[in-house]
Structure 1
C-alpha cells in the first residue's frame, strides 16, 4: 500500500484522566518505526516550554514492537495557557486536521496489545491516525491520545512525518461522531528520547480537556530498527 506524502506547510520553508485509570508495568514510549528512515523528520525547536504541571494519575505502557522503558518526567517552565473551553460530552473522534502542516486524516480507535502496549495503525489503515480508546475522547476532561506512524514500511513518509514542524499556537481540529468539532491550540511541542519518556507529563491527569499527539522522531537506529525519540504535541481545548 502506498503511504501518504507529507504536507506542504512550514516544512517546505525550513492516562489518562477523566475517570479512566490504567496502570501497567514496564513501559512508556511509542516505539513503532519503519524498516528504514528516509531522512530525518522535522524536529521541534530545541527550547520549548510547558504550560503547566500535570497531576499524576496512571501511566500506561505505550510500547510496541517489543521494546519498552520506564521513564521519569523532566521539569519544565511555565508559559501562558490559551483560554480553555468547557469540557464536551464523550464522543468518538472520526477525523483530525492540523492545517499548519496540511494534515488531514480519518481517525479510528485502537486499544492495547497482548503485551499491554498501544496497538498501532496497520494494514489498510497504516497511514491513518488512531485514537487510544482507553483515553478520554477529544474534548472530554483529561488527555485524549492520538497516535500515528512517522514513516511507512516501504520507507515513505507516513501521516505524522511532519508532526515535529508543529508550533505553539497552531490549531488541531478533531471531528467527532456526534457531529461536533473539538478545536485545540498547541501549547508545546517536545522531542523526548525513548529512554527518558515523561509518562506523567504526557498521560497524567489534567485540569481540563487536553490532547496529546504522539509519533516517533529523531535519528533512526538501523540495528534496533526504530527511531530513538518520540515527538509529542500538547494541546488544550479552545472551542467545543
Structure 2
C-alpha cells in the first residue's frame, strides 16, 4: 500500500510539473509538434549498464554537469508542496536544478528525474536554457554525496503538450537505470500562465 501511494504521489507531482511550467520567455520550439502530437527529436540506441564502476548504491545527488551545453549546477532535493505541486529549487531557483527526492537517485534502477527552469522572469536564460541543444550521445554527469560521478548518455529528446506527457515513461520506467531532464519549451501562453510544450531529455546510465 505504501509503495502504491508513493507511486500515485509521484505521478501526480509529474502531472502538476508538466501543467504548471515556467515563466514568460521567447518562442522556441513550437514546430516540434505536428498535428497536436509529440515529436521525438533524434534517438540513440544505447544499452543499459549496471553501475559497476562505483562501490555500493549511489549517494544523494549534489551536482549536475552537462559539458556540451555549459551546465554546471547545484542539485537541490525537491518534493511536493502542501497544495500538491512539484517543488522547484529554492536556494538559487534560476541557477540550481531540482531532483525529485521521492523517486530513485541517479544511478539507481528506475527513472530519476531532474528539472530546471528554462528562463527567468523577463525571459533571460536560466539553467536549462540550452537543454534543447543536446544531441543523442551527449554526456550528462551527476556527482553524489559520496564523491562518485555517475555518467549518462542522452538517448533521445522529446517535446510534449502538457496533457500528452507520458508519465509512466518519464517517471516510472524501471526497466533500466535512467535520468530524465525536464524543462519548459515553446511559446508562452499568457492566458494559461505556462509554456506550450515540455521538453524531456531521456538519458541512460553508462559505466
TM-score band w.r.t. shorter chain: 0.7 to 0.9
Structure 2 Cα separation of the partners of residues 109 and 47 of structure 1: 28
* Matched-pair contact (CA < 8 Å) for 1:41–1:161: no
Q: Is the Cα contact below 8 Å between 2:26 and 2:188 reproduced in 1?
A: no
Compare 108-117 and 168-177 and name the one that shifted more.
Answer: 108-117
Q: Give the whole-Å Cα distance in 2 for the aligned partners of 1:41 and 1:47.
A: 12
CA RMSD of aligned residues (A): 2.7
1:82 equivalent to 2:47? Answer yes
1:23 aligned to 2:8? Answer: yes
Higher fraction of strand: 2
Residue of structure 2 in register with 1:162 after alignment = 130
**Match status 1:97 vs 2:65:** yes
- How far the C-alpha of 1:193 sits from its partner, in A, is 0.5
Q: Between Structure 1 and Structure 2, how many residues are aligned?
A: 193
Query: What TM-score, normalized by structure 1, do the two folds share?
Result: 0.71
Unpaired segments ≥5 residues, structure 2: 34-38
Alignment correspondent of 1:229: 197
Partner of 1:197: 165
Cα distance change, pair 190–20 in 1 and its aligned pair in 2 (3 A): farther
Q: Which of residues 102, 111, 130 in structure 1 aligns to 2:79?
A: 111
Give the TM-score of the pair, scaled to structure 2: 0.82
TM-superposed CA distance for 1:203, in Å, is 1.1
By how many angstroms is 1:40 displaced?
2.2
Deviation, structure 1 residue 212: 0.7
Q: Are 1:32 and 2:17 matched, yes or no?
A: no
Q: 1:131 to 1:22 in 2, by over 3 A?
A: same
Change (3 A) 1:21 1:123: closer
Write out per-residue CA displacement over residues 144-182 of structure 1, whole angstroms, 9 at most, x where no aligned residue. Answer: 110110011232111011111111101101011100000
Structure with bigger helix share is: 2
Equivalent pair of 1:219/1:228 in contact (CA under 8 Å)? yes
* Map of 2:36 onto structure 1: none
CA contact (8 A) 2:42 2:136 kept: no
Where does structure 1 lack aligned partners over 5 or more consecutive residues? 1-16, 51-78
**Is the CA contact 1:43–1:217 (under 8 Å) kept in the aligned structure 2?**
no
1:48 CA displacement: 3.3
